[in-house]
Amino acid sequence: MPLKRYGADCALLVVDVQNSFCPGGELAVPGGDEVVPLINHLSLLFENVVLTQDWHPAGHASFASSHPGGQPFHSVTLPYGEQTLWPDHCVADSPGAAFHPELETEHARLVLRKGIHAGVDSYSAFVEADRTTVTGLAGYLNALGVKKVWLAGLATDFCVAWSAIDACAAGLETHVIEDACRAIDIDGSLAEAWMQMRQAGVKRLRSDEV
Ligand code: VGL
Ligand code: ZN
């Protein structure tokens, strides 16, 4: 049993390492699969590992195909605000929603699914895009006495960034392991995401500093 350097008050949040976001997937993130070996290694250092899955019902409001004339990567206005439209991806129980086959899932203590409501997206693993509905993750981590989190996964500029910003807002000391993430990067979204994360108080580091 390898030494767990990060104990009960720490958690590794592995965000959306799913087939849809890997090469060949419906919403492939460049190099998305490259994070898998590194995340598998990092998981060994943590007593608490949480995996998230983007998990949408068919016909989800974030899918371009759900809007007449909707174009992937364009945006529309939904009741809760602006929503970027995406190709259909991570449909609940579809092959795209499954974890990358090489992701080590055995030691995860929680698999959290998000984006499960047909009309509301959720990049964040904590609070949905209406900024009201919670996933329960903050309560779960709080109940375990977790005070610090490290994030890795896909995509840096969407689900990782929003989750990290909400982790800070939940009072957790928050770190993003930049080389264990990959970005979509549309229209400067990656630079913008790092700026927002820095303003929120997220600590940015590399895996050799973990
Ligand atoms: C994500 C776009 C749509 C992500 C999820 O995991 O970053 N991006 N749904
Ligand atoms: Zn999604």
CATH number at residue 177: 3.40.50.850
pLDDT value for 2: 55
Q: Which of 127, 171, 180 is nearest to 149 (CA)?
A: 171
Report residue 76: phi and psi, to 5°: -130, 165
**Residues with C-beta atoms within 5 A of ion ligand 2:** 54, 115
Burial of 181 (0-12, 13-18, 19+ CB in 10 A): buried
Q: Which of 103, 15, 23, 85 is nearest to 54 (CA)?
A: 15
Give the separation between CA 77 and CA 199, rounded to whole angstroms: 26
Q: Which ligand is nearest to the CA of 55?
A: 2
Identify whether the C-beta of residue 42 lies closer than 8 Å to the C-beta of residue 180: yes
pLDDT value for 4: 80
Give the separation between CA 210 and CA 199, rounded to whole angstroms: 22
Q: Which helix (H) or strand (E) holds 154?
A: strand 148-154
Whether 68 is in a domain gets the answer: no
Model's pTM, two decimal places?
A: 0.96
Whether 109 is in a domain gets the answer: yes
Whether 73 is in a domain gets the answer: no
Using DSSP's 3-state secondary structure scheme, residue 198 falls into helix
Q: Which ligand is nearest to the CA of 115?
A: 2
**Residue 4 annotated in active site:** no
Tokens of 89: 């991806």
- Mutating to test ligand 1, I would choose from 27, 157, 176 the residue with most ligand atoms within 8 A of its C-beta, which is 27
User: Structural domain of residue 147, as residue ranges?
Assistant: 10-56+98-209
pLDDT value for 145: 98
Whether 186 is in a domain gets the answer: yes
Residue labelled with tokens 């030494």: 3
**Residue 147 annotated in active site:** no
Query: Mean pLDDT for each 10-residue chunk of the chain (210 residues)?
Result: 82 98 98 98 97 98 97 96 97 98 96 98 97 97 98 98 98 98 96 98 97
Name every residue whose Cβ is closer than 8 Å to that of residue 209 and which is 6 or more positions away in sequence: none
Q: Which of these is catalytic: 10, 16, 157, 181?
A: 16
- The total number of structural domains in the chain stands at 1
